[in-house]
Structure 1
Amino acid sequence: MSRSIVRQSKFRHVFGQAVKTEQNYDDIRVSKVTWDSSFCAVNPKFLAVIVESSGGGAFLVLPLSKMGRLDKNHPLVTGHAGPVLDIDWCPHNDNILASCSEDTTAMVWQIPDQMGTQPISEPIVVLEGHSKRVGIVTWHPTARNILLTAGSDNLIIIWNVGTGEALISMDDHPDLIYNVSWNRNGSLFCTTCKDRRLRVCDPRRREVVAERMAPHDGIRPMRAIFTRDGNLFTTGFTRMSQRELGLWDPTHFEEPIALLELDTSNGVLLPYYDPDTNMVYLCGKGDSSIRYFEITEEPPYVHYLSTFSSKEPQRGMGFMPKRGVDVSKCEISDLFQDDLYPDTAGPDPALEPEEWLEGRDEDPILQSMRDGYVPPKSRELKVARKNVLDSRPTPRRACPPAMAQPTCP
């Protein structure tokens, strides 16, 4: 019982705080595409936002150090022939971002620290392998240059963006994939799908290793993420269209560890998870609140902490890696409290792509939060094309911009 009290008291004073007006970004025309992605992504250096654009797809990259009204001449990142649907910053290089689009491609971009005035239109590599729009892009958490994409062709492809190669392709999903989430060391990922199944996939064995039919009874879209200890946290809807969250052990999928009804709002709840503290933040499009919970080892397992409320409804959300947090701004005392700020994932990859592909797994390399954010040295991502004559041909090509431009849309 005492342990339960300690757990409740540890994070009960966590609270949300909106920044001052002068710290906002103004005049950003957020994309109106109705896709259940978060529309923005943030890392310790930049904020990226998918924006309206004519004649293709574009997103905006803004330095976190420069806020206020958007300069109308601020350059866009352009290059996609259709609307951009998802973006994700590389966890191992703060200047590398991946995007995917209705034009059936994914692209990887090198963002300079100083943006200049000209649009960025040349990606480092164009990844072509999907036959329909690509709606999900997510980096491997611990292996360098490994990127996963999922499209409306119900296909999941895992790429080595350093060579432009498609390494793994999985077609186990009979319907639209709603979301994909890696586990902590990147050995597995979970998916939710329009067929109402929650799946756990082993990409290197190219198979589904566990699945659960309808973890939530409603037919509205679900979301699922891995927790630190390998359980699955899900959000969905009841048969009566109430929003619901669940916690599941994928080795015993028959019964949930916890199932909790929330409210009757109709926005899909997007979960953002902090593995260092085992806290999960729930955000919904159209909501004006963010709820947070602690996942515990004893009942009630998913423990409500608090709610942050804002005046404006949310259209998109981004979750910055905690290595970019300035702890001193969040501290009441002068002492660094390492129990509230445990070591967090740093920018160094734990594995090379070849090691991961051969079956090695490593947890993230951690760093202390004591000294706040220290920018790592800027590293350029170089794409080394392999000689296709020296290896077995891949099913579809992935062409970097180094090739003649007419061959790359």
Structure 2
Amino acid sequence: MSPPKAVLTAGFGFLHADLVSGSSTENELSSVGALYAMSRSIVRQSKFRHVFGQAVKADQGYDDIRVSKVTWDSSFCAVNPKFLAVIVESSGGGAFLVLPLSKTGRVDKNYPLVIGHSGPVLDIDWCPHDDNILASCSEDCTAMVWQIPDHSLTRALSDPVVVLEGHSKRVGIVSWHPTARNILLTAGSDNLIIIWNVGTGEPLLSMDDHPDLIYSVSWNRNGSLFCTTCKDRRLRVCDPRKREVVAERLAPHEGIRPMRAIFTRDGNIFTTGFTRMSQRELGLWDPTNFEEPIALLELDTSNGVLLPYYDADANMVYLCGKGDSSVRYFEITEEPPYVHYLSTFSSKEPQRGMGFMPKRGVDVSKCEIARLYKLHDKKCEPITMTVPRKSDLFQDDLYPDTAGPEPAMEPEEWLDGRDEDPILVSMREGYVPPKSRELKVAKKNVLDSRPTTRRSMSTVDTNSLPRLLEEIQNLKATVLSQEKRICDLENKLSQYTNGTA
């Protein structure tokens, strides 16, 4: 129980008076010091303690979007510094909508969609290393990778860069590797996890350690491991290159409803799930010691699965429950109770899904530390999370260098066992997304953005020109002789058919 503010003020006032008069005793000093220490422990010091959420004005949202009604526990929304993508209702297969972030307001009902899947789209994920590349997966048992042009679509986009076929049942999860170029993970209802090199369209490796439906997959910071939650109520930590489960915990949450798990930046695992009494619950675990949780906290009795969105720079987690009308956010620290409740953003309408902006896409001039995109039935509403600061200067403590768009390694290096943390970029000048880099379809790497070098005439050996001209003349002569032969054969054929031969 916190001491009344008046007591604290009085205590410090008496201390000041006694110090001035020189009459304070050692006991009085120690008691006031204890009082001060108690006040410090009650009010936890954190620069994120006063973070507040605010919905943007109505004209800065996205209206008339027919959000998908598929009963699948994905976020239905993905966002990056250039685009907003939303899985939508469509006839004759699956589709999703991709809008430039600047295209706010009402969305024309005839606005072109990305269509290519023959079944409903279940999950979408933007590539962290190219803001124009998006992966999608569907009930049609495939995953697809798309190149989105910088400008608004003028017609439906139906040609993916590559189609990934390897699952025997619907594919419910797609997740890009955080640091290696072109590595994509897919998880299907066949309980199979496949990791692809989308540059060649080939599967690199697969894991079939899950006996039941996989609910969620999350890479760790350098992509050396990923954690999964499964319908068999187990939380697993997997090493994909060894193709083995390196740690697992049965029932981190005792309820039978779906769980979610994400890696934190320091290698712990944050989970959401349900108690045996169907109360929603969050947990923090050390994967090297799964016996006891670092923290376990009951929340409420709502039914919606809690989707966690993690900010590695601030070590904060935003919890968005499907069907909830609120977003709760917490800070993870090294001091008890380890997961600190900060505040709740509430609105009137429930959310169908949520998108989370990468840190490089937030507005540093407004002390914005996160931006979420809340899906309603027929619109998408951005929500800004801001730290109240009066200064207009860049706030170094709020914006450490963050993960940038350059991959730290190539797929072959990762497959050979190399691990690299994300390549960081400064937020001081704000982040300007690069222009679209056209992807050349090639056998080796369809997503390689480096342009092919063409040999100019100046680099051709002039001594070889006579030989080239001679070859051209010989080829022309060969073509003429073949044409003459074809004419002769056609004449003979016509004579046979006319009965003159």
Contact 1:162–1:382 at 8 Å: present in 2 too? no
Secondary structure of 2:40's aligned partner: helix
Deviations 1:96-150 (A, max 9, x none): 0000000000000000011332100000000000000000000000000000000
What is the CA–CA distance in structure 1 between the aligned matches of 2:329 and 2:440, rounded to whole Å?
39
Partners of 1:148 and 1:82 in 2: how far apart? Answer: 20
Question: Is contact 2:438-2:449 (8 Å) kept?
Answer: no
Q: In the aligned structure 1, how far is the partner of 2:196 from the partner of 2:40?
A: 44
Do the aligned partners of 1:73 and 1:117 also contact (CA within 8 Å) in 2?
Answer: no
Q: Give per-residue Cα distances to partners, 1:330-365, cap 9 Å, x unaligned.
A: 379111111111111111111111110100001011
**Native 8 Å contact 1:12 1:305 kept in 2:** yes
Q: How far off is 1:382 after superposition?
A: 3.5
User: Structure 2: how far apart are the matches of 1:46 and 1:268?
Assistant: 26
Distance change in 2, residues 1:161/1:277 (3 Å): same
> Where does residue 374 of structure 2 map in the other structure?
none
Runs of 4+ in 1 over 4 A off after TM superposition: 1-7, 386-397
- Judged with a 3 Å threshold, the aligned counterparts in structure 2 of structure 1 residues 13 and 24 are, in CA distance, closer, same or farther, namely same
Q: Shift in Å at residue 21 of structure 1?
A: 0.4
Alpha-carbon distance change, 389 to 253 in structure 1, aligned in 2, over 3 angstroms: closer
Q: Report the 3-state secondary structure (helix = DSSP H, G, I; strand = E; otherwise coil) of the residue aligned with 1:168.
A: strand
Bigger Cα displacement from structure 2, 120-129 vs 309-318: 309-318
In 2, are the aligned partners of 1:83 and 1:101 still within 8 Å (CA)? yes
TM-score in terms of structure 2 length:
0.76
| Aligned counterparts of 2:454 and 2:255: Cα–Cα separation in 1 | 37
What is the match of residue 122 of structure 1?
159
Change (3 A) 1:26 1:392: closer
Classify 1:339/1:101 alpha carbon distance in 2 versus 1 (closer, same or farther; 3 Å). same
Q: Percent identity?
A: 91
Q: Give SS of 2:360's match.
A: helix
Quote the offset at 1:3 in angstroms: 9.4
Report the equivalent of 2:21: none
What corresponds to 2:307 in structure 1? 270
What are the Cα deviations for residues 355-391 of structure 1, in whole angstroms up to 9, with x where unaligned? Answer: 1010000101111111112112422334432599999
Which of 99-108 and 368-377 deviates more?
A: 368-377
Q: C-alpha displacement at 1:72, in angstroms?
A: 2.1
CA separation of 1:202 and 1:115: change in aligned 2, threshold 3 A: same
Per the alignment, residue 404 of structure 1 pairs with none
Q: Give the conservation status (yes or no) of the 8 Å contact 1:86–1:101.
A: yes
- The whole-number CA distance in structure 2 between the counterparts of 1:260 and 1:387 is 46
Q: Check 1:221–1:392 CA distance in 2 against 1; reply closer, same or farther (3 A cut).
A: farther
1:350 aligned residue (408, 426, 430): 408
- For structure 1, list consecutive stretches of 5 or more residues without a partner in the other structure: 398-409
Give CA-to-partner distance per residue, 1:31-75, whole Å, 9 cap, x none.
000000000100000000000000100000011011000112210
Q: Distance in 2 between matches of 1:121 and 1:67?
A: 24
Paired with 1:387 and 1:63, the residues of 2 have a C-alpha distance of 27
Question: How far does the alpha carbon of each residue in 1:250-303 deviate from its partner, in whole angstroms, 9 at most, with x for none?
Answer: 010000000000000010000000110110000011000000000010100001
Moved more, 179-188 or 111-120: 111-120
On the 8 A contact 1:164/1:385 being kept in 2, the answer is no
Selected match of 1:374 from 429, 432, 448: 432
> Which TM-score applies when normalising by structure 1?
0.92
Contact 1:85 1:136 in 2 (8 A): yes
When the two structures are aligned, how many residues end up with a matched partner? 397
Residue 315 of structure 1: which of 352, 364, 383 is its match?
A: 352
8 Å CA contact 1:162, 1:381 repeated in 2:
no
How far the C-alpha of 1:2 sits from its partner, in A, is 10
Query: Kindly tell me: are residues 4 and 54 of structure 1, through their superposed partners in 2, closer, same or farther at Cα, counting changes over 3 Å?
Result: farther
User: Judging changes above 3 Å, is the alpha-carbon distance between structure 1 residues 395 and 367 closer, same or farther for their aligned structure 2 residues?
Assistant: closer
Change (3 A) 1:323 1:4: farther
What RMSD, in angstroms, separates the aligned Cα atoms of the two structures?
A: 4.5
| Partner Cα distance (1:394, 1:167) in 2 | 25
8 Å Cα contact 2:439-2:447 kept in structure 1: no
Given that residues 128 and 396 in structure 1 are in contact (C-alpha distance below 8 angstroms), is that contact kept between their aligned partners in structure 2? no
Q: What is the CA–CA distance in structure 1 between the aligned matches of 2:280 and 2:163, rounded to whole Å? A: 38
Q: 1:247 to 1:5 in 2, by over 3 A?
A: same
- Cα distance in 2 between the residues matched to 1:236 and 1:188: 22
Partner Cα distance (2:106, 2:393) in 1: 36
Secondary structure, aligned partner of 2:45: helix
Q: Answer whether contact 2:199 2:445 (CA < 8 A) is retained.
A: no
Look up the match of 1:2. Answer: 39
Deviation readout 1:199-256 (Å, 9 max, x if unpaired)? 0000000000000000000000000000000000000000000000000000100000
Q: Could you tell which deviates more after superposition, 227-236 or 115-124? A: 115-124
Secondary structure of 2:447's counterpart equals: helix
Distance of aligned partners of 1:99 and 1:15 in 2 relative to their CA distance in 1, 3 Å threshold: same
CA distance 1:383–1:157, shift in 2 (3 Å)? farther
Distance change in 2, residues 1:324/1:57 (3 Å): same
Provide structure 2 residue ranges, at least 5 long, that are not aligned to the other structure: 1-37, 370-390, 456-501
Matched, 1:389 2:421: no
Q: Mark the CA change 1:5 to 1:203 in structure 2 (over 3 Å): closer, same or farther.
A: farther
**The 10-residue stretch of structure 1 (336-345 or 214-223) with the greater mean CA deviation from structure 2:** 336-345
Worse-matched range after superposition: 84-93 or 6-15: 6-15
Q: Give the direction of change, closer, same or farther, for the CA distance of 1:241–1:390 in structure 2 (3 Å limit).
A: closer
Q: Which has the higher contact order (CA 8 A, sep 6+)?
A: 1
Whether contact under 8 Å (2:441, 2:447) holds in the other structure is no
Q: Could you report, residue by residue, the CA deviation over 1:173-209 in whole angstroms, capped at 9, with x for unpaired residues?
A: 0000000000000000000000000000000000000
For the residues of structure 2 that align with 1:259 and 1:208, how far apart are their CA atoms?
24
- Matches of 2:453 and 2:439, distance apart in 1: 24
The 10-residue stretch of structure 1 (56-65 or 333-342) with the greater mean CA deviation from structure 2:
333-342
Residues 395 and 103 of structure 1, relative CA distance in 2, 3 Å threshold: farther
